[in-house]
Amino acid sequence: MFLGRVKGNVISTQKNRYLQGHKLLLVQKVDLKGNFTGNKDVIALDLIDSGIGDTVLVAQEGDAVQQILGHKKAPVNTMIVAIVDDIDVEK
């Protein structure tokens, strides 16, 4: 799992039939202060209605995603599992 910020939408005219009706978003990792880390973006399945600019918790592990979806038929290993409202780190 990692923290990320949604940077954009992914629009596709053709999708796997198990992904039809689901939103795909472009996410980049962030640190605990909300700063982008690295320069690699990830495409993540979104079932919780997050949007551009949201800080999110992303699961990047096939078995967890399959358990959430309830089947193994969708070709997905990255999914947004939560919108993060606030991060409080004790020093």
User: Is residue 68 predicted with pLDDT exceeding 90?
Assistant: no
pTM: 0.86
HEC states along the chain? Answer: CEEEEEEEEECCCCCCCCCCCCEEEEEEEECCCCCEEEEEEEEEEECCCCCCCCEEEEECCHHHHHHHHCCCCCCCCCEEEEECCCCCCCC
For residue range 15-50, list pLDDT tens digits in order: 888 888 889 999 999 999 989 998 899 999 998 999
Domains in the chain: ranges and CATH: 2-83 (2.40.50.220)
